Structure 1
Amino acid sequence: MKTKPNITLISAGCSITGNIIVDHGISCFGLCDGGLISTQGLLHVGEGGLIKGSAQGEHVRIDGRVDGNVHARGSLEINGQVTGDIFYCGTIRLGPRAALNGTLKRVARMLTIEAEPAQTDVAAHALPTQSVPDRPDSNVTEISRAMA
C-alpha cells in the first residue's frame, strides 16, 4: 500500500534557497532562504531553524526564527523570534520566549494568504485584492498551483 507523506523535514545543517510550497506539514530546523508555505497541516520552525522570508500555513508554530511576515489561517504559537508582520485569523499563543518585532493583525481568513510569492524583504507584504469566487477557503491552493 502506497502512503502519502504527511510531513517534510528540513534538518539542522540543511540550507535551502528559494520558496517552498507543500500540501502537507513541514518542520524546519535548518535555513530556508525564501518563503515557506504549507497549505495543510503544521508548519513548524524548530529551535535553530531560520526562515528568511514569509511563513504561511494552516497551523504555525515558531520555536526558531522568522525574518519575514507570518500568515496563520488556523492556530499560531510563537515561542521564538519573528521580525515582520503577523497576520492571523484563528487562535494565537505567545510563549515565555516569544520575541516580536513587527505588527500583530487579526484579519479575515482570506487575508492571511499572500497574493504574491514570498519576499525576503521584511517590510514588504502583499495582501490579496480578490478571492477565488467558487472556493473561498482554498485560494492558497490556487496560489500554490499558479506559483508552480
Structure 2
Amino acid sequence: MKTELNITLIARGCAITGDMVVDHGISCFGLLDGGIISTQGLLHIGEGGLVKGAAQGEHVRIDGRVDGDVDARGSLEINGQVSGDIFYCGTIRLGPRASLNGTLKRVARMLTIEAGPEQEQSPIADSRAIEAASEQRTDSNVTEISRAIA
C-alpha cells in the first residue's frame, strides 16, 4: 500500500499575504505576512522563513522567525526566534540558537484548533482567549474544539 505525503511548501523568495489554514504539514522558508494554522502534522518554519502572525500546530519546529504567538499542541522545538507568547501542551526543546521575547506557558491539552466553515472572521485563534477558556475549564481533560476568534 502506497502512503501519500501531504505537505505545503512556501519556498525561499516567496511571499504570501493573509492567513493560512492547512489540514496537513507545512514548511515555510519564505515570508508569510499573516497567521498560520496546521491542524495535523508538522508546522516547520525553516531557516530564512518568517511568519508575521500567530503560528499554531500539532508539532511545531521553528528554525526561522515568528513575530507572533506560538501554540503547539504536541511537541515544540525552537532553534530560531520567537517574538510573542508561547503556549505548549506536550514537550518543548530549546536549541542553542533559540531566542525568545515573550512568555512561555504550559497549558492543558483541552483545546484544539479546527478550521471550519462556521469561522467567519480570521481563522487564527486569539491565544489570550484560548488561555482564558483553558483556565475556566480545569475540571475536564477531554479535548474540545476552540472557536475563539481574534
TM-score, normalization: structure 2?
0.78
CA contact (8 A) 2:66 2:82 kept: yes
Give the counterpart letter for 1:21 in structure 2: V
CA contact (8 A) 1:13 1:31 kept: yes
- Give the drift of 1:139: 2.0
Deviation, structure 1 residue 84: 0.2
Q: Which residue of 2 aligns with 1:54?
A: 54
Amino acid at match of 1:41: G
Task: Give the % identical residues.
Answer: 74
Residue pair 1:25, 1:38 contacting (<8 A) in 2 also: yes
Asked if the contact 1:71/1:112 (under 8 Å) is kept, the reply is: no
Partner residue in 1 for 2:87: 87
CA–CA distance in 2 between the matches of 1:99 and 1:113? 26
Of Structure 1 and Structure 2, which has the larger fraction of its residues in helix?
1
What is the aligned-residue RMSD (CA, Å)?
A: 3.0
Within 2, Cα distance between the matches of 1:125 and 1:34?
A: 18
- In the alignment of these two chains, the number of paired residues is 135
User: Is 1:100 aligned to 2:104, yes or no?
Assistant: no
- Relative to 1, partners in 2 of residues 1:112 and 1:80: Cα closer, same or farther, differing over 3 Å? farther
CA distance in 1 between counterparts of 2:143 and 2:4 reads 23
CA distance in 2, matches of 1:77, 1:48: 16
Residues 75 and 91, structure 1, Cα contact 8 Å, conserved in 2: yes
C-alpha distance 106-79 of structure 1, shift in aligned 2 (>3 A): same
Q: Output the CA distance in 2 between the equivalents of 1:97 and 1:66.
A: 14
Change (3 A) 1:100 1:113: farther
C-alpha contact 1:19 1:36 (8 A) present in aligned 2: yes
**Distance in 2 of aligned mates of 1:87 and 1:112:** 12
Distance 2:109 2:29 in 1: 27
Q: Which amino acid aligns with 2:56?
A: Q
Structure-2 separation of matches of 1:36 and 1:138: 20
- Secondary structure at 2:9 match in 1: strand
Q: Is contact 1:30–1:49 with CA below 8 Å preserved after alignment?
A: yes
**Alpha-carbon distance in structure 2 between the residues aligned to 1:6 and 1:137:** 25
Unaligned runs of 5+ in 1: none
